[in-house]
Amino acid sequence: MAAGPTPSIVVAGVTVRYGNGVTAVHDASFALGPGTICALVGINGSGKSTLFKTLMGFLKPAKGMVSIAGMEVRQALKRGLVAYVPQAEEVDWSFPVLVDDVVMMGRYGHMGFLRIAGKADRDAVDDALARVNMLEFRRRQIGELSGGQRKRVFLARALAQGGRIILLDEPFTGVDVKTEDQIVDLMRELRAEGRLMLVSTHNLGSIPDFCDQVVLVNKTVLAAGPTDTTFTHANLQRAFGGALRHFRLEGHALHEDADARRVTVISDDERPLVLYGERDHEKLADGGKANRGKANGERATGEEGSSS
Ligand SMILES: Nc1ncnc2c1ncn2[C@@H]1O[C@H](COP(=O)(O)OP(=O)(O)OP(=O)(O)O)[C@@H](O)[C@H]1O
């Protein structure tokens, strides 16, 4: 991994307003360092995309300060430090462009004015496509790919760019479990390389597995910190209120055998969080840790729960 500024994000007292006067985020603060995968969690309209757009310099805070790798946003973007993997809805899939060309866009910041790709650029594109297992699709039109394949192409674009900070807006929406696992494995590799990833997701069940930090939002940052201490039942209730589906099944209502453990299923939208044998529901993350193997092994059960 190329040396560069230490990846970090500092958001301090940030308020963001849209042109129509809507204050989407007010007085939001959190800080993240290198070698981190952080989940950005909140209901629809809670300000996750607004925060991404602010970190990408598309929106300017009305108040507060954003610093990326110790620099102003504009400077960090100019240096290609931040790569963005957009939500599927933000992309015009009818635009006739090859997979190769999409990934090469990640290299534009490394090229001269005429954007002529050199060997280093072509190598970076090859490496990135190989890392997301998409080499065989490189001559395909982007619009001809499945949702999960498209996500992987945009992830490859971020890798080709060499961004030490990667923002992923709902990377798991509409992808199957196998693709989600591939994306998570890749993110773990990128974390081991010291990169910083901020991931918005409704997959609550996956968060204790691969995120070391969590930022919970609802128009402001309600809680931010290590998953173990922040991804708690109390904080999820604050973030989601009545929007959260929460089932608790226990004893003979659930088991015909002697296994009397309680099962708690907490779901926002996609993959729910499934906890076994919880007594104290305050600390979801601790329970998740103790029961993680089991919960993963029974993922399908949880998914049935979420559809009810
Ligand atoms: N371009 C815009 N102009 C005005 N208001 C906007 C604009 N985009 C978003 N908003 C408003 O800002 C608030 C936050 O929206 P945002 O898109 O950041 O939420 P989100 O958490 O990303 O939601 P989702 O989970 O649905 O993607 C919402 O009230 C939304 O209606």
Q: What is the pLDDT of residue 282?
A: 45
Is 117 a member of any domain?
Answer: yes
Is 212 a member of any domain?
Answer: yes
The residue contributing the CA closest to ligand 1 atom 25 is: 44
CATH code, domain carrying 59: 3.40.50.300
Is 233 a member of any domain?
Answer: no
Q: What is the count of structural domains for the chain? A: 2
Is 2 a member of any domain?
Answer: no
Torsion, Cα 152 92 174 186, to 10 degrees, reads: 20
Per-residue exposure over 210-230, b if at least 16 CB sit within 10 Å of its own CB, e if not: bbebbbbbbbbbbbbbebbeb
Q: Answer yes or no: do 93 and 210 share one domain.
A: yes
Q: Answer yes or no: do 40 and 132 share one domain.
A: yes
Q: What is the pLDDT of residue 277?
A: 63
Q: Please give the residue range of the domain that contains residue 243.
A: 238-306
Q: Answer yes or no: do 287 and 153 share one domain.
A: no
Q: Answer yes or no: do 93 and 45 share one domain.
A: yes
Pick from 184, 207, 227: which residue ends a domain?
227
Q: What is the pLDDT of residue 271?
A: 66
Ligand 1 mean position, distance from CA 116 (Å): 37
Q: Answer yes or no: do 208 and 172 share one domain.
A: yes
Q: Answer yes or no: do 197 and 100 share one domain.
A: yes
The residue contributing the CA closest to ligand 1 atom 29 is: 45
Is 1 a member of any domain?
Answer: no
Pick from 173, 199, 227: which residue ends a domain?
227
The predicted complex's ipTM stands at: 0.97
Over the chain (308 residues), the average pLDDT of each successive run of 10 is: 78 96 96 97 92 94 96 92 83 80 88 80 94 93 87 92 92 85 92 96 89 96 96 87 64 65 69 62 45 35 32
Ramachandran angles phi, psi of 226, nearest 5°: -60, 145
Q: Answer yes or no: do 19 and 142 share one domain.
A: yes
Q: Answer yes or no: do 107 and 134 share one domain.
A: yes
C-alpha to C-alpha distance for 118 and 184, rounded to whole angstroms: 31
Q: Answer yes or no: do 171 and 276 share one domain.
A: no
Is 21 a member of any domain?
Answer: yes
Ligand 1 mean position, distance from CA 50 (Å): 6
Q: Answer yes or no: do 143 and 271 share one domain.
A: no
Residue with structure tokens 């999409």? 102
Is 182 a member of any domain?
Answer: yes
Q: What is the pLDDT of residue 305?
A: 33
Q: Answer yes or no: do 223 and 242 share one domain.
A: no
- The sign of the CA dihedral 31, 35, 40, 41 is negative
Q: Answer yes or no: do 200 and 264 share one domain.
A: no
Pick from 227, 262, 292: which residue ends a domain?
227
Is 3 a member of any domain?
Answer: no
C-alpha to C-alpha distance for 290 and 277, rounded to whole angstroms: 10
Using a 6 Å cutoff on CB, does residue 24 contact ligand 1?
yes
Ligand 1 mean position, distance from CA 46 (Å): 7
